[in-house]
Amino acid sequence: MKNNSILIIAVITLAASCTPYPSPNLGSRNHWYSNYTEPAQEQKQYKKIPLGHPDPQGRSNMVVSPYRPYNIIDVSGYRSGDIVGDPSTAIVNPRTGRRDPNSAKYFRIP
Q: Which pLDDT does position 34 carry in this prediction?
A: 47
Q: Are strands 62-64 and 72-74 parallel, antiparallel or unpaired?
A: antiparallel
Q: Which pLDDT does position 48 carry in this prediction?
A: 85
Q: Which pLDDT does position 30 carry in this prediction?
A: 47
Contact 75, 84 (CB under 8 A): yes
* Residues 19, 51: Cα–Cα separation, whole Å: 45
* Residues 62, 73: Cα–Cα separation, whole Å: 6
pLDDT tens digits in sequence order for the chain, 110 residues long: 555 556 566 556 555 555 454 555 545 444 444 444 555 555 555 678 999 999 999 999 999 999 999 999 999 999 999 999 999 999 999 999 999 988 999 999 99
> Which residues on neighbouring strands pair with residue 54, listed in sequence order?
63
